[in-house]
Amino acid sequence: MLAAIIDWYSRYVISWSLEQTLEIGLITQTVSDALTQARLEIMNSDQGSHFTSPHDLDLLKEQSVKISMDGKNRSLDNIITE
């Protein structure tokens, strides 16, 4: 499974991680790495359990990152990353 944090404006890949299984640590590590590489203002994701976990939400809130989540059935919103 690939997790990536991408700047939507420049299309620059800020952080990415690759694992054989989709564990919550994959997302948390990718977000942590992104926070050390860039000043994130808004984090947009889908409503999957990995992105709504307290681990990730607390990490973003600690850095004062605004959290944006796509609505249900909006699979094309993250097509840039896909």
Residue boundaries of the structural domains of the chain = 2-78
Q: How many CB atoms lie within 10 A of CB 60?
A: 19
> CA-to-CA distance for 29 and 35, rounded, in angstroms?
10
Q: Beta strand 42-45 with 13-18: parallel, antiparallel or unpaired?
A: unpaired
Are the C-beta atoms of residues 16 and 5 closer than 8 Å to each other?
yes
pTM: 0.78
* pLDDT (0 to 100) of residue 52: 82
* pLDDT (0 to 100) of residue 48: 75
pLDDT in tens, 19-69: 988 788 888 899 999 999 999 999 888 777 778 888 889 999 999 999 888
Pick the CATH number of 2-78 from 3.40.50.2300, 3.40.50.700, 1.10.3720.10, 3.30.420.10: 3.30.420.10
